[in-house]
Amino acid sequence: MQNLYTKDLFVVCAQLGSKAKSKQSWNTTVLTSSFPMALQERIRVVLLACGSFNPITNMHLRMFELARDHLEDTGRYRVVKGIISPVGDAYKKKGLIESRHRIEMARLATEASSWISVDDWESQQTEWVETAKVIRHHHAVLSAAEDNHDKVDTVKFTKKRRLNKESSSDHNTSETLQLKLLCGADVLESFSVPNLWKKEDISEIVGRYGIVCITRNGCDAEKFVYQSDALHEHRKNIHIVREWVTNEISATHVRRAVRRGQSVRYLLPEPVVHYIQDHHLYSAESEQKNADVILAPLQRYGSTNE
């Protein structure tokens, strides 16, 4: 309801703006003060999805499209880029095949997208990297790119950005480019698993950057946010996207079907189906990989409550 209202306001506002220009009969004070800042400049957003992508499925790609529609419907954001960051092999999840294959499949899957790409920085690290660190890395890369752009920017634009930065102390609202973590509701719910996430990492992710969470059958993301003090505090930074056309494709299901010799066509992008066949991926043997190893975050933070 609120989204529609904001969107309607946006349309009406644009119409009013053009009438005002042509007829000179509108009160410009009303036009500039009563309509959202978003009209002048929407906040640009980059979405970052971290996960195993073992293998990448159509639902992983749908997540990006759903999140972009949702954010842009608010009238406040413009989603400019999507990044897929497959986890490194040191994550030690059961059945996790080598990252070079997962990266290659993700690359094939995103070839047709004009805005989603794959980044292998995380998977190239020798140790498993906390998600907060991965976000920090991408934030630094994006900020450096923005700064370079500033140099070639017009003076007017640079000044405006500087003013924006100076006029607010809140990290998120002062930035015209934001990086947000994109995930499914199961990842959000995993925040409460003992020894899996550090409290300060969760606060940093939701407080400093923000999350876009796609609902998944069996997970009640809204209730989870309501019940967690840490998440509730930053609820404005948590965008829950309801997937009405529920789609329970999971990589686990895909791996199971492949090792049983069943078809996985139309669950994955066609080039990914061929890649799996050509490289004989996902056997009973590969599913046993890391079976007797503790997941990296549990190892790092202690496995007493496992």
Ligand X SMILES: NC(=O)c1ccc[n+]([C@@H]2O[C@H](COP(=O)(O)O)[C@@H](O)[C@H]2O)c1
DSSP 189-249: HGGGSTTTS-HHHHHIIIIII-EEEE--TT--HHHHHHH-HHHHHTGGGEEEE--SS----
Residue 291 interacts with ligand ATP (CB under 6 A)?
A: no
Residue placing its CB nearer to ligand ATP in the complex, 42 or 49: 49
Q: Select the residue interacting with ligand X from 106, 187, 206, 281 (CB under 6 A).
A: 187
Q: Closest distance between ligand ATP and the C-beta of residue 264, in Å?
A: 12
Q: 184 or 269, CB closer to ligand ATP? A: 184
By rule CB under 6 A, what count of residues binds ligand ATP?
A: 21
Task: Name the residue nearer to ligand X (CB basis): 108 or 296.
Answer: 296
What is the rounded distance in angstroms from the CA atom of residue 130 to the CA atom of residue 1? 36
Is 47 a binding residue for ligand ATP by CB under 6 A? The answer is no
Nearest approach, Cβ of residue 226 and ligand X (Å): 22
Taking CA atoms, 161 is separated from 43, 156, 158, 194, 208, in Å, by 12, 9, 5, 41, 19
- 216 interface partner picked from ligand ATP, ligand X, none, CB below 5 to 8 A per type: ligand ATP
**Interface pick for ligand X out of 89, 104, 119, 130 (rule CB under 6 A):** 130
Cα torsion for 30, 36, 42, 48, to the nearest 10°? 180
Residue 249 interacts with ligand X (CB under 6 A)?
no
**By CB under 6 A, is residue 208 in contact with ligand X?**
no
CB 62 within 8 A of CB 73: no
The partner in contact with residue 201, picked from ligand ATP, ligand X, none with C-beta cut-offs of 5 to 8 angstroms by kind, is ligand X
Nearer to ligand X, 10 or 64 (CB): 64
CA 5 from centre of chain? 25
Distances (CA, A) of 157 to 149, 150, 161, 164: 11, 8, 6, 11
Give residues in contact with ligand ATP (CB under 6 A): 49, 51-54, 57, 59-60, 63, 183-184, 186-187, 214, 216, 247-252
